[in-house]
Structure 1
Amino acid sequence: MHKLLLRQLKRNYPVKEIPADLQPLVNAISDAYKDYDYEQQLLERSLELVSEELNLRNLELKQKFQQLEETHQQLAESAAVLDGIFDATGEAIFAFDRKGRLVRYNQTAREILKLKESGGEYSKGHIAYMFRKILADPSKFLHELRRLKSFPKNNLFGVIEFSNDRLFEYHSTPQFSGEELVGRVWCFRNVTQIKENEALVQYQAFHDSLTGLPNRVLLLDRINHSIALSERKNEMIALLFIDLDHFKKVNDTEGHQVGDELLKEVAQRIRDCLREHDTLARFGGDEFVVLLDSVKSSRIAAKTSRRIIDSVSQPYEIMDKHFHISASIGVSMYPRDDTEPQELIRKADMAMYHAKEQGRSNYEFFDSPLERLAHFQLELENKLRQAIANQELTVFYQPQVETQGQTIKRMEALLRWFPVTGSAISPADFVPVAERAGLISDVGLMVLEKVCETIVKWRQLGAGDFCISVNLSAQQIAEGNLVEHIERLLSQYNISGQYLEVEITESILMENLENVTAVLNQIRELGITVAIDDFGTGYSSLKYLQKLPIDILKIDRSFINNVLEDKNKQSIVNAIVLLGHGLKLQLVAEGAEDKPTVDFLTELGCEFIQGFYFYKPMPAQEIERILFKPE
């Protein structure tokens, strides 16, 4: 019997046994209780299962909700970053819908068109009106917009200029959802500074940074253009190659700042001498080139050259100092001299060097003999290089005879060239070529070494006191290692500096007085004497002469030749001798060819005479026969 039924019977029917006739009823009730319990258990289990499932589902929902919250936070942060980027980018961004309405824009876009801070839509017409107000030329941009009606899926790219001179580069890209066009995005980037930088780079590529003049690249382009025009018009053009005389002296003595200011002033003076459509270019250093268009005759080139020379030679005042320079000009004509720009420049350059050789501060036209001379010099340069390699150069010696006693204690080393094939080549021909080709320093060092070898040999043969003079070039002095080379040779051959003398010309001295003086002082510290060669033909200032580290003046042969027939020459030679003695210098007269001239120079008190009357330049072996002949 069901325990719940049993408790109820005991409480309501206090009998020990249930009557038999009620037993079936009681059993039926007991079964009903049992069925109820079973169903209740089933229901509880079902509820328990549902509760577990609901709890699990609730947990899953909580987890998903948490994930959704995290995703939402991430999306919010990403949106904030994107919004920040959208506003912070230097580009102006406009987003339009399919109807052309402006639906979104960033901070830069708002500033350009003065749009609202946020919110609000702008129609296509309103935006077009705003752009029309700020563009320098609205028609071009509006034309691009109209093209989109026919080609709505096109990408656009271009550059527009605003009325305030700013330049913007724009990109326009259609936006799609699947295959459907849903809008368009425009991006505008300020490229004003970029374009200005590009223009500056372009300008610097074709102009000289110091003077602002066209450089050689732009010059060549303009020459080509001028030649093309001249061919059509049957006209000539002229090229003037200008080189400043003695500019290096200003640069070396006063510094590059003064030199740069001087170059700018020279450029302005040359420009003032030209017509408006002529071109002045800086070719490099102190070289300028003028292109004269539409020249009717060479007289125009000549007149322009003379104006430039006269203008450049006027005094300059820079940084409270006064300067004087001059210009040498070479002229080539198209089509007479050539039809190629590079050749016209080369031939004008060649003519300029000829102008310098003719005394500077003048102009020369290119001609065929000058071309032949250039080819000769180029051929000579090639032969000279080979001659140095083959040791074809040798040293001759010309004695300088002492007037008191007619003894030989001094002589000059003179370079000679005897090719393996062919006749001897004059130093007057090959020395200038060696200087222009940059070979003179190597040649000069070779001469010094041969002279040192000769000194050692003659001392071994018993020679007494003697001195051999060696000519120095401007390049040797300028290179800065001359004294080092001389010290090395004196040490290598174990000889004293008293056996050596160096000669420089007045023109070398005045190229860079300060530097040359410093080098000569170092040379004299080695016991080597210093002589000024060709004295009287240069531009030395007498006020500098007394301060220079020199021992000997050599009177140039141009004053000695026919001196007895020319009273002016006699006066000049007498003045040089008096000047030299007044400065406690010895005198050497060059070019004495006869006894009356020797007697005249001896009477003046000239200590030494060098000339054909006594001896011509000779090989070392012949000098040895004179110096060491048997008594």
Structure 2
Amino acid sequence: MICGGDLCFNGRKSAKTDSHSLHATLQNIVEHLSAEERAALPSSFVDAIDRALADSDRALETLQSSAEHELHGTVEELEKSLTWLGAVLDLTHDGIIFANHQGHPDIFNPVALQQLELDNNQLTSMDYPALARHLKKVVRNASSALHEIRHEIGDGSGASRTMLEMHSDQVIELHSRPFIVDEKLLGRVWTLRDITELKLSEREARYNAGHDRLTGLPNRTRLYDRLEQSLSAAKRSASKVGILFMDLDGFKPVNDHYGHDIGDLLLVEVAGRLSACLREMDTVARFGGDEFVILLHEIDDAHSAAEVAQRVINCFNTPFDVRQLTLNINTSIGIALYPDNADTPESLLKRADMAMYHAKSRSQGFFEFYSERLSDAQRLQLGEADDIQQVLQSDGPHLHTQPRRDSQGQQTSSQIDWTWPDSHHSLFKPSTEHSPQSSEFNRHFHHWLFDQVAQHCARNAIYILPLHPQCVFDTAFQDTLEAHQSLCDLVHLQIPEAVFAAHTDTACALLKQWQNWGWHIEISQFASGSAPLNYLLNWSPDSVAIDASLLNPVTRDDQAGQRLQQLIGGLLSHVPAVTALDVSSQEEAEMLFRFGITHIQGPFLGEAASLT
């Protein structure tokens, strides 16, 4: 509007100049005529000059009035534009400063004053050097920020972006760009945005990515990072690294009897005691469920690790007080050392885990070191037996099934599980809790397992096969799935939710690939706290099985029932089927069906049937 008015006004100004010139010329001619010369002129010519002068006077008056009106309109438009500009500057959440080419701020808004901790008079009187001196008083990283700005601006034609970390703990993102009109540099526009909350959110996200949300301890991902760093340091210093793999004895009965809330609080108390047992340089991490791992940096020998293990066991001698409950639990610990037992994070953790299960088989409250003198069963679990296939055939697990039924009472599928002979009991748990961990064993074991299913299962039925989370990332198991794709319509694969605890994106991509091959994927132990639920945003399973820990409070608490009903409703918007496991009675089954559960499984439906 203003530019258009200027152009229009400049055109009228030329017309006014021409009229003035004509009027002055006529006036000059008339004034220099003598009376005789004027009398000698024809009367018509004199009349024409008089009329021309009169017309010229009226034209000048009209032009003057028009120019004044045009100027008044332009001023009004300019004032309106400035009013709008002022309102915008006042209402914006960002600070804005326009500094002229000499570095003096001509235009700024209240937000900029507030962010720079200045008042109106102070900023108005400042140039760039003065402003720089002020920033050094209020900005924690002023020197580096100013250096960055000078470097990016260069000769004045460049843009800049930097962060100002204020002494007030605010974080301000500072942008600047040159203000150029008609290739002429008129000044520079600075914008200041408060990104304190964004930075806090980013910091919180980084923390959560490496820490267990319940206990605040480092999680498995952070543990692997620190273990790799510790091994690198130990190689340089020729020192040892110790891994203590812990499993809580007696935690499951507490969790089952008192509920998930008490179990969570107990885990928090355990985390606190473990942290108090260690040196500041050591790390205690929650590995998953009721398993914890202690990383001992740069220890002298095995005796140092044994001392810590005994100190940890002793700290469980005092009962835990949780919500006026006195709870007694213990722990079993397996120890592996670098470089004595292994030289990679994976192998150290695996062998400490093996030693822990050996300690657990003796009694509660013991620790064991990993040793090369292993029983045949232990060597089998590590994939070191001479003939794994032969051992599986002669002394393998016993397979059995549990029925699943829908709301009409019809059996729709059966879940397969297995138990190992007594000689392996302390080393092999059912697959949903612990599965043999070596790739060599997995390759033989899962081939054997699928062969058993193909041999003994009815062709007109559906079987749910529970797997350990490790299988998702095991290339040997990928080969097994490809080799047994003919069983896709017969066997549905059940994966615990813990698979998403450390590598969510990778797990989603692999499970999606399995679905593309034709496999039906069910997620078990849903919402057990072992993994964040955001994996549902990137991938949808074919079905979900709710863990029994979510069902325990329902019969005692109406609000818990309402929450469960909302959870089931939300799940059914993502998946077609939701199964409740470990249902113990017909009454409980009917209640769960009312809540929207599509299938149930539990001991009251009948004893497990042998498959082999």
Q: What TM bracket, shorter-length normalisation? A: 0.5 to 0.7
Could you tell me which of 422, 428, 447 is aligned with 1:428? 422
Task: Provide the residue aligned with 1:218 in structure 2.
Answer: 222
Q: Larger Cα Rg: Structure 1 or Structure 2?
A: 1
Count of residues in Structure 1 that have an aligned counterpart in Structure 2: 395
Cα distance, 1:149–1:307 mapped onto 2, change above 3 Å: closer
Find out whether 1:88 has 2:91 as its counterpart.
yes
Q: Is the 8 A contact 1:279 1:290 kept in 2?
A: yes
Q: Is the 8 A contact 1:384 1:430 kept in 2?
A: no
1:192-591 mapped onto 2 (5 Å cutoff) = 192-370=196-374, 373-377=377-381, 427-429=421-423, 435-438=429-432, 479-480=581-582
Q: Please state whether the residue corresponding to 1:437 is helix, strand or coil.
A: coil
Alpha-carbon distance, 1:122 to partner? 3.0
Q: Residues 399-425 of structure 1: CA distance to partner in whole angstroms, max 9, x if unpaired?
A: xxxxxxxxxxxxxxxxxx9xxxxxxx9
Cα distance, 1:386–1:95 mapped onto 2, change above 3 Å: farther
RMSD over aligned Cα, in angstroms?
Answer: 5.0
Task: Provide the residue aligned with 1:182 in structure 2.
Answer: 186
Structure 1 CA distance for aligned equivalents of residues 342 and 259 of structure 2: 39
Structure 2 CA distance for aligned equivalents of residues 258 and 131 of structure 1: 52
Letter in 1 for 2:178: P
Letter in 2 for 1:480: D
Q: Residues 526-574 of structure 1: CA distance to partner in whole angstroms, max 9, x if unpaired?
A: 9x9xxxxxxxxxxxxxxxxxxxxxxxxxxxxxxxxxxxxxxxxxxxxxx
Q: Please state whether the residue corresponding to 1:368 is helix, strand or coil.
A: coil
Task: Provide the residue aligned with 1:166 in structure 2.
Answer: 170
Letter in 1 for 2:348: L
Task: Provide the residue aligned with 1:156 in structure 2.
Answer: 160
Letter in 1 for 2:431: A
Q: Which runs of 5+ in 1 are unaligned?
A: 1-34, 394-416, 418-424, 450-475, 488-518, 529-631
Alpha-carbon distance, 1:215 to partner? 0.8
Q: Is the 8 A contact 1:313 1:327 kept in 2?
A: no
Could you tell me which of 99, 103, 107 is aligned with 1:104? 107
Q: Residues 308-364 of structure 1: CA distance to partner in whole angstroms, max 9, x if unpaired?
A: 111123212211111110001111111111111011111111111111111222111
Structure 1 CA distance for aligned equivalents of residues 83 and 390 of structure 2: 81
Structure 2 CA distance for aligned equivalents of residues 342 and 176 of structure 1: 60
Alpha-carbon distance, 1:150 to partner? 5.9
Alpha-carbon distance, 1:225 to partner? 0.7
Structure 2 CA distance for aligned equivalents of residues 125 and 332 of structure 1: 62
- TM-score norm. by structure 1 comes to 0.52
Q: Is the 8 A contact 2:220 2:286 kept in 1?
A: yes
Structure 2 CA distance for aligned equivalents of residues 165 and 391 of structure 1: 63
Q: Is the 8 A contact 1:239 1:289 kept in 2?
A: yes
Cα distance, 1:311–1:434 mapped onto 2, change above 3 Å: closer
Task: Provide the residue aligned with 1:411 in structure 2.
Answer: none
Q: Is the 8 A contact 1:351 1:370 kept in 2?
A: no
Letter in 1 for 2:582: G
Cα distance, 1:70–1:98 mapped onto 2, change above 3 Å: closer
Structure 2 CA distance for aligned equivalents of residues 233 and 316 of structure 1: 40
Q: Please state whether the residue corresponding to 2:136 is helix, strand or coil.
A: helix
Q: Is the 8 A contact 2:149 2:162 kept in 1?
A: no
Q: Is the 8 A contact 2:358 2:426 kept in 1?
A: no
- TM-score norm. by structure 2 comes to 0.54
- Please, which moves more after superposition, 259-268 or 66-75? 66-75
Cα distance, 1:95–1:390 mapped onto 2, change above 3 Å: closer
Structure 2 CA distance for aligned equivalents of residues 327 and 127 of structure 1: 62
Alpha-carbon distance, 1:369 to partner? 3.8
Q: Which runs of 5+ in 2 are unaligned?
A: 1-41, 401-417, 435-448, 459-546, 550-580, 590-601, 608-612
Letter in 1 for 2:175: H
Cα distance, 1:386–1:334 mapped onto 2, change above 3 Å: same
Cα distance, 1:68–1:288 mapped onto 2, change above 3 Å: farther
Q: Residues 110-129 of structure 1: CA distance to partner in whole angstroms, max 9, x if unpaired?
A: 22342227995433343233
Cα distance, 1:483–1:85 mapped onto 2, change above 3 Å: same
Letter in 1 for 2:155: F
Cα distance, 1:71–1:302 mapped onto 2, change above 3 Å: same
Q: Residues 405-449 of structure 1: CA distance to partner in whole angstroms, max 9, x if unpaired?
A: xxxxxxxxxxxx9xxxxxxx9943477777433599x99xx99x9
